[in-house]
Amino acid sequence: MNKNVQEKLYSFIVTNLPKEPLELLAQNIILKYGVVENFLEEELVVTPKARLRPQMRRYLIDEAFCTFGGEVCHTAPRGEHYIVNQFGDITLSHVEVPHGSKVRDATHRKLLSMNNALLEP
């Protein structure tokens, strides 16, 4: 994404979204990461943790999003789900991307991003 567009998006989000829910969401996500790490350290001794860690993070971040009225939506064809939060005209969702990786294409994200078509370069 173009740096100028990214800065405009950040500015738009900061100006138009209430601060408290975003701060609480950030705190909840950090707490959920801790829950995952504690579980993996306490419960898994022999089993490799590399596959379970991102799965648990994803589902616990979903839980954090739902504490702010997030809606569970199902992908089509049904098989997975994703969470969206509505703040006025802004729809917020999430995807976790490991450092150095790219976001994989997903139909539901393409549909969500159609609202941002005017913002795309």
Structure confidence by residue, pLDDT tens digits, 65-97: 888 788 888 877 777 888 888 877 777 787 777
- What's the pTM value of the predicted model, to 2 decimals? 0.71
Q: Specify the DSSP element, H or E, that contains 99.
A: none
Between strands 81-87 and 90-92, the pairing is antiparallel
Q: Measured between alpha carbons, how far is 80 from 19 in angstroms, rounded to an integer? A: 30
